[in-house]
C-alpha cells in the first residue's frame, strides 16, 4: 500500500490512475485499424503482467489471466478497444464549426460549400495511404451514428409500411 499526497491509495488504484494513463497517452497514434501492433502489445502485456504481480504479491509463474481477474484488471487489448470506442464518439460533441468536425463531416451543410479537404472527398486509395486515427474514426463513427435524412420519402404523410401477409406465419 502507498501513502500519496496524504491519502491512502491501493496498488490497484495507483496502477489505474498513474501507470495506465502514462503508458496509454496518445495511443491513437499507433492503435487504429489495420496496423501491426504486436510490438506495442508485447510491451503493454509485459507491463500489465508486472503490475498484476505487484498488486497481488503473487509469484511470477502464476497465470496472467487469473492474476488479472483477481486483481480486477481487464486485459490490455480490451482496455484499448474501450478507449478507442470512446474516442470515436468524442468529435461528435465538439462544436459544429470545429475543424475536426469539419473534416469528418459526412453530411453536406446547406449553409456553406463542401470542404474539399474532408474525409468524404478522399478516394479509397487516398484513405489507404493516409491511414490514421481520423480516417478510422470517421469510417467507424458512421456505423455508430447511421446517416439519417429527415427528407426521406419514408417520412412523408400517407406513407405507411403495410403487412401484405399478416395471416401467414413462418417457422424457422
C-alpha to C-alpha distance for 55 and 50, rounded to whole angstroms:
9
Residues 58 and 93 in one domain: no
Number of structural domains in the chain: 2
Q: Give me the tens of pLDDT residue by residue for the chain, a chain 172 residues long.
A: 555 444 556 888 888 888 998 998 888 778 776 677 788 889 999 999 999 998 888 888 888 888 888 888 899 888 988 888 787 777 777 787 787 777 776 555 555 666 677 777 777 787 777 777 777 777 666 665 555 566 666 666 666 666 566 666 666 5
Residues 67 and 97 in one domain: no
Q: Which of 133, 105, 129, 135 is nearest to 118 (CA)?
A: 105
Residues 26 and 50 in one domain: yes
C-alpha to C-alpha distance for 76 and 169, rounded to whole angstroms:
47
Range of the domain at 49: 2-74
In a domain, 166, yes or no: no
Decide if 102 contacts 118 (C-beta within 8 A). Answer: yes
Q: Is 48 exposed, middle or buried (0-12, 13-18, 19+ CB in 10 A)?
A: buried
pLDDT in tens, 96-145: 778 777 777 655 555 566 667 777 777 778 777 777 777 777 766 666 55
In a domain, 167, yes or no: no
In a domain, 23, yes or no: yes
Residues 98 and 123 in one domain: yes
pLDDT score at 108: 52
C-alpha to C-alpha distance for 88 and 135, rounded to whole angstroms:
10
Amino acid at each position: 500500500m502507498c501513502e500519496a499526497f496524504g491519502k491512502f491509495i491501493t496498488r490497484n488504484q495507483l496502477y489505474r490512475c498513474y501507470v495506465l494513463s502514462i503508458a496509454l497517452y496518445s495511443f491513437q497514434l499507433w492503435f487504429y485499424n489495420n496496423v501491426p501492433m504486436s510490438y506495442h502489445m508485447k510491451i503493454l502485456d509485459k507491463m500489465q503482467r508486472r503490475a498484476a504481480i505487484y498488486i497481488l504479491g503473487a509469484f511470477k509463474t502464476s497465470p496472467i489471466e487469473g492474476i488479472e481477474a483477481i486483481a480486477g484488471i481487464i486485459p490490455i487489448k480490451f482496455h484499448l478497444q474501450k478507449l478507442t470506442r470512446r474516442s470515436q464518439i468524442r468529435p461528435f460533441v465538439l462544436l459544429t464549426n470545429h475543424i475536426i468536425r469539419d473534416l469528418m463531416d459526412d453530411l453536406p451543410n446547406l449553409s456553406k460549400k463542401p470542404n474539399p479537404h474532408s474525409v468524404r472527398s478522399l478516394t479509397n486509395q487516398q484513405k489507404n495511404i493516409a491511414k490514421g486515427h481520423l480516417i478510422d474514426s470517421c469510417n467507424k463513427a458512421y456505423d455508430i451514428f447511421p446517416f439519417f435524412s429527415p427528407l426521406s420519402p419514408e417520412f412523408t404523410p400517407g406513407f405507411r409500411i403495410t403487412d401484405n401477409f399478416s395471416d401467414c406465419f413462418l417457422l424457422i
